[in-house]
Structure 1
Amino acid sequence: MIPTKDTTYRLTATGDGGVVSQPVTIQLNLPIIQSFTSNMSPDQYITHGQPATLQWNVLHAATVSIDPGGGLVKAQGSVQFFPMKTTDYTLTCTGVGDPVRSTLTVNVWNPWE
C-alpha cells in the first residue's frame, strides 16, 4: 500500500526477548501553495495591454508552472503579464501525489470586445 498522505504505522517485532513496538511516521511533503496573488483586487480591471503582476510561494514541489504563458517557474517569485483580454492564470505544482492547482482571474477592460 502506497500512502497518499502523511501516515503513521506501528512496527512490531516479536522474538526471544519478547515484543517490541514502535510507531513510524512517513511524511510525504506534498506540494503546498502558500500564496498565489495578483497586484489587483478581484473586482479591479486593467486596460488591455497593461501589466498585471502575479506573485506566488510554493513548498515541496518538484515543478511549478503558470499557464497560460508563464511556463516553468521557481517555487517563489513574481512575473508580469500584459493580457489583452480577461484571463484565468493557473499555478500548477507537481511532486508527491496529485498535482495541486490554484487559479486567479485578471480582469481586462477592452472597449472593442
Structure 2
Amino acid sequence: MSTDPTAGRADPGFDPGAAYRCSPQVSLRPESFGALVYHFGTRKLSFLKTPQLVDVVTGLEKHPDVHAAIEAAGVAETERPAYLKALAGLAASGTIEARPTT
C-alpha cells in the first residue's frame, strides 16, 4: 500500500478548489465532437472529446474554482470525478493553468 498522498493523481499540483483558465498559449477550435486544442508553446494537438468538457474549459475563467465551472456546465454528479481527472490531465499538459485571484 502506497503512503504517497499524490499516488494515482494525474497532476499532484492540480487543485479543483482553485481558480483556473485556459492557457493564453492555447487555441480551441470547436468541432461537433468537442474541440481541437492546439498549444502554441509545445506545438501539441489534442482533443476535448465532449462539448460539455469544452463548456467547462471555456467557463473556467468565469468561475471562482473548477468545481463551480463543472457545476455551471451542468455536469452530472456521477460524471464529475471523470471531469476532474480530465482537467487534471489538461493542467499537467499546460492546456489549463492556475489563474491568479484578485
Q: State if a TM-score over 0.5 links the two structures.
A: no
- When you count strand as a share of all residues, which structure comes out higher? 1
Larger-gyration structure (1/2) = 1
Structure number with the bigger relative contact order (C-alpha 8 A, sep ≥ 6) is 2
TM-score with structure 1 setting the length: 0.22
